[in-house]
Structure formats: C-alpha cells, structure tokens
Amino acid sequence: MELVGFVHKYEWGKTGKDSAVAQLAALNDPEFNVEPHTPYAELWMGSHPSGPSKYKSSGDVLQEELPFLLKVLSINKALSIQVHPNKSEAKLLHMKEPKIYKDPNHKPEMAIALTPFVGLCGFRPLPEIRDILINITPLKELAVKDSNDLDLLVANDELGLRNCYKTLMNADVATIGKCIDTISKDYGKELCNYGVLEIFNTLKNDFPNDVGVLSLFFLNVVRLQPGQAMFLGANQIHAYLSGDCVECMACSDNVIRAGLTPKYKDLKQLLSSLVYKGDLAESKIFTPERFDDHRLVFKPPVEDFSLIQLKLQPSDGEYILKIEQSPGILLVISGQRYLETKGLKQIKLKRGAIVYLPFEAGTEIRFLSNEEPENQEFLAYISTPNAPLFVKT
C-alpha cells in the first residue's frame, strides 16, 4: 500500500532542491512542486493527526493508529535545545497544562544520519565542563555562583552541574548577550581548542542573546556520519544543528524547550526533569544490532518503535526479510527493487517510495532484483513497533 507523505515547511529547513525532504517528496508524489526559496524541513510518514500520510491510490488518510512516526529531516538552521518528559511526567503535565503539553505520552526519538549530521546530546563529562568554565572567564563569572561547584564538577558530582546550569538558565538576556559578545571577541583560541568555533559563530548569529548559545559549552557536540545514529531518551537534553536524517519517534508533541528559540521555555519543569549526567560524546552514538550482511536493526529501550536499515547491492539476488508481525512503514532512500509480501500486489520500489505494511502482511517481506540494469545500492528504512503491541487473534 503506497503512501504519500506529509511535508512541513518550517523555517529552519533546507530550501528548494538542496533539501532531502524536497527531493524525496517530489519523487514520492509527482504532483509535489519544489519551490527554490521555500524551506522543506520534515517529511512525515504515519498517522499523526498534525500530518497524516495518505494512500497514493485513493487519497484517503491512513487510519491505523501507529505508536510511532517516521520522518526525514533536512536542517539548515538549528532546532531548539529541548528535552521530552517521561510518560509519568507527560501525564501530569498534560493534566496540569494541556495547552502547552498537548498529550499524555512520552517522545523518545532516534535520528539516523543520511548526510554528515551535527547535533547536541547530553551533558559533557563534568570535569570537562569545569575545564571550560576555568578557561572561559566570562562564562565562569556568569554560571558559577559558588566556587565549590567547580570542585563538585571535578569530583563528578551532579550537584555541581545542577547549580551551574540553573544559574546559567536564570541569567537575564542582557547578561547573556554580554557574555556571548565577550567570548566571541576575546576567546577565539579557546573556541578552536574545544572544536566549537564554527558552531558558536553560527548560533550567535542565528539566535542573538540566546542562552542556548552558551549551553553549547555544557553539552556534547555529536557528529554523525551517514548511517550512524543517536537515541534521545526521556529527559535527555538535545538539539539538531545541521544535516539530513531519518528520524523515528513516539507519537507525541510534548517538548520542554531550553534555548535556541523565541518560544516559551518552562524553566522550572526543565530544571526538574533534566538528566544531569555527564558522558563522552562518543557514548551518544547508538550501536545497532547486525543480523546479516544486509540488515541492521536499531532497537532503542522503548516499546514504541525500532528501525530496520536494509542495504542490498545490485549484484545481490532476492532477499527475504523476516520480521515480527506488526504494522510498519518502509521508506526507500536509494536504488530499486520489487517488493512482495502477503496480501499486497507487487510494488516497484525506488527512491522516495513510501509503503505501509499492514499487520496482515505477515512476517516475510521479499525484495526482488530489478529487471532493469542497476548500479546503485538499495537503501531502505522500515519502522515498526519495538514490542508486540498489535497482537491479533
């Protein structure tokens, strides 16, 4: 069952044909017109009410209530620094402030890079944060009220991080702006030493006087190569800065913002919810399970979703993918194949194809060689629930 995805044109997206979202959308839907100066930020594949997919054959909306939403993101300008509440917090926040927290669900996310991708994820090791504060004096003067907090950071005590980050987040806009300007003017060497000069300059230009620019010194910069992933669990502070990725997430709109945005920041809830644990940036790269030469499975510690990455070379013959019986959505990134599965007509797969795999499709999906000469690797992602949530009798 072929689908047409839903495109969101948020201002942070890449424009025109530079956007992977626009490229895929145009191939997915012949009627989709790409405007050269329009940002194309997200391609949604699923049944989320804010952008449900439609059946290509009929134009009807996909009705199945899926626990996940599959996306492609093309990022030209940084998204906000944010966290997502866990399930128990989400329920309470939704009851208390339904206009801000619009549903009672959590929102774990997985991002898999399609191009070189840069994001922020989790706090740096605490001794490293202390080193940065010592070497960038205006940041220390802004964020450190009590010198004992520096000793706590060296001792890897999360209380030191809590105190310094709370002080930073409560600083007024004028003080933040002055600090950013001083660092920009006088601390170029330090910015180079910490590998953040380019990112710092971009963020301060895109988000003047925003506390998120200074959060850069507290958070890990994670650089992903195509095929690498990072998982963003509940209360894990993060942001996407640049690049293209496939993303899968639980169906929710709950966001607690922390910076790089003019939107509302629920500071009290943010500081209460955050995971104040320092880790190396390398530890944020998610390791998938390899099942054979062709299949990787990204299985996060949540029931809502998992992602299968399937790669087939032109010389590879028929490949049979065996999966747990559940609904799923398939997206083709490159190459061509024919798909056969129980209850569905044979479908020709090529870049931009989106296919809904209903529960009735069973446990085997066959990928047949293309009859036409093909010299491009076939790459597809398949999102499914990560637990047998759809058992039918």
DSSP assignment of 195-259, as one string?
A: T-HHHHHHHHHHSTT-HHHHHTTTEEEEEE-TT-EEEE-TT--EEEEEEEEEEEEES----EEEE
Tokens matching residue 337 = 């194949």
* Residue 238, marked binder: yes
Rounded distance, CA 239 to CA 78, Å?
7
The whole-angstrom separation of Cα 21 and Cα 71 is 9
* Token pair for 115: 């191009």
Give dist(CA 228, CA 131) in Å, integer. 29
Quick one: residue 343, left, alpha or beta (phi over 0 = left, psi -120 to 50 = alpha)? left
Token pair of 215 as six digits: 């959060």
Cβ neighbours of residue 271 closer than 8 Å, sequence gap 6 or more: 162, 165, 166, 169
End-to-end CA distance of the chain: 23
109 annotated to bind ligand:
yes
Closest by CA position to 77, among listed 179, 205, 249, 175 = 205
Residues 6+ apart with CB under 8 A from 129: 123, 153, 161, 164, 217, 218, 278
DSSP designation for 381: E
The residues with which 69 forms a beta bridge, in sequence order, are 249
Return the active site residues: 257
CA distance 346 to 342: 10
Binding-site residues for Zn(2+), in ranges, read: 82, 84, 109, 238
